[in-house]
Amino acid sequence: MPGISVIVPVYQAKKYVEKCVDSVKNQTFSDWEMLLVDDGCTDGSSQLCDQFAAGDERIRVFHKKKNGGVSAARNLALDEAKGDYIAFLDVDDRYECQCLETLWNLRLQADADSAACAHLNLWPDGTKQPETVLPAGVYDAAGIREGIVGPLLGDRLTQPVFNGFIWRFLFSREILRGAHITFEGAYLEDELFLMEYFCHAQKLAVTDQPLYRYFHNPSSATHKYMPDFMQVFSRFMEQKEALVKRHGLESLRPQWRENSNWAGLLIAIGNEYARGNEKSIRKKQKAVQALCARPEMARAIETLTPEGVSSNKHLVVKLVKGKHFFMLTQMYRLKNGI
C-alpha cells in the first residue's frame, strides 16, 4: 500500500508526459504510486503512458476509449487509488523534487489530515511568481474554514483572489471516501471539491515553500471561448447552494451569492467577447445585456458594488452598473482586436 497516490489526467499531452512522469520519479519521497488516466488520447500519449508503466511498477495506466473530461478522469483514479493520501498533478506541470516528502512530513509532524504548499507561477515569457495558500503554520478546523472555505465561498472578487488549485494539497483518502467527495464538470470543479473537503478536514499543515511548478498555458481550456459557460456556471451555483446548506455556511460570507454571481458575470462577459466566439458584435452585445438581465445577475448588480478588483474589471463593473453596453462592447473590441 503506497503512502501517496499521485493522480494525473492525460489528454493530447504527448509533449508533456515524459517530464511530468520524471518529476514524480525524481521525488526524494519514494513511497508513491502514479495513476495516469488516458482520457481518450489520439496523439500517441497512450503509448507513452504504457511505456512508463512497463518501466516502473509504481506507475499504473487506465485507458478510456472516449474523452470524458478532467473530472471523470480524476474520479476514475480516485476509485482506483491505493494510497493513504492523494495528490494531484496536471500533465503540463511539474513537482519540485522534494514536494511529496515535504508535504508528507508536514502532515506527519503536525498530526494533520492534510498538508499544503505554495506554488511557482511560470509564464511563457519567463516571468516567475510564487503564490502561497496561507501563511506557513498549522490550522485547526475553524482556521481552515476562515482561511480556505470562506474565500472560496464568497471572496471571489477582491485581489488577490484565492485560487482553488487542488494540486497544492495532500488529501486524506479516508476523508474523501468517507464523505463521498468527487469531481463534477469541466470548469470550477476544483473550487467545489476543495470546499467540500475542507468542510470535513480537521487540521491542515502549510508551508510557504513553492513546491509545485504551474506553467500558464495560453492554449488551455480556461483561455478558450466556452459556448456553454452559463450552463456550467448555473450548475456550479446549484452545487454551491447545496453545499452551503449542507454545512451551514450561510453566516460565513452573508453575500456569497452576490459575490459569486458578480465573479461569474465578469467571466461570462469576457467569454462573450473572446475571439473564438463567432457571433456578430451586435449579437455579442445583446448576449451581454441578456446576461446582466438574468434575475440572479440583476440582483448582484443592484445590491453589490465589487471592490478591490483589477483596474480593467473595475471599468467593466462601472459600465455594467451604468448599463453602458455599447461602450462596454467598444472597450472589448479594442482590447481583443475584434
Q: Are 186 and 70 in contact (CB under 8 A)?
A: yes
Domain count, the chain: 2
DSSP code, position 170: E
Q: Which residues contact 121 (CB under 8 A, 6 or more apart)?
A: 127, 128, 129, 130, 131, 214, 216
Clarify whether residues 101 and 32 are in a common domain. yes
**Domain endpoint, select from 196, 215, 234:** 215
pTM: 0.95
CATH number at residue 121: 3.90.550.10
Clarify whether residues 180 and 112 are in a common domain. yes
Q: Are 11 and 67 in contact (CB under 8 A)?
A: yes
Q: Is residue 230 part of a domain?
A: no
Please determine, for residue 218, whether its predicted confidence score (pLDDT) is greater than 80. Answer: no
pLDDT in tens, 101-136: 999 999 999 999 999 999 999 999 999 999 999 999
Clarify whether residues 143 and 266 are in a common domain. no
For residue 314, what is the enclosing H or E element?
helix 311-321
- Host domain of residue 178: 4-215
Clarify whether residues 119 and 25 are in a common domain. yes
Clarify whether residues 63 and 190 are in a common domain. yes
Clarify whether residues 112 and 34 are in a common domain. yes
Q: Is residue 190 part of a domain?
A: yes
pLDDT level of residue 222 (50, 70, 90 thresholds): low
State phi, psi for 232 to the nearest 5 degrees.
-65, -45
**Domain endpoint, select from 215, 237, 266:** 215
Please determine, for residue 8, whether its predicted confidence score (pLDDT) is greater than 70. Answer: yes
Q: Is residue 221 part of a domain?
A: no
Clarify whether residues 102 and 178 are in a common domain. yes
DSSP 245-261: HHHT-TTTSTTHHHHHH
Rounded to whole angstroms, the Cα distance separating 176 from 86 reads: 9
Clarify whether residues 259 and 187 are in a common domain. no
Rounded to whole angstroms, the Cα distance separating 132 from 118 reads: 4
Clarify whether residues 165 and 261 are in a common domain. no
Q: Are 116 and 138 in contact (CB under 8 A)?
A: no
Clarify whether residues 260 and 211 are in a common domain. no
What pLDDT is attached to residue 224? 80
Rounded to whole angstroms, the Cα distance separating 119 from 173 reads: 22
**Using omega within 30 degrees of 0 as the cis cutoff, is the peptide bond preceding 218 cis?**
no
Clarify whether residues 205 and 264 are in a common domain. no
Rounded to whole angstroms, the Cα distance separating 3 from 104 reads: 9
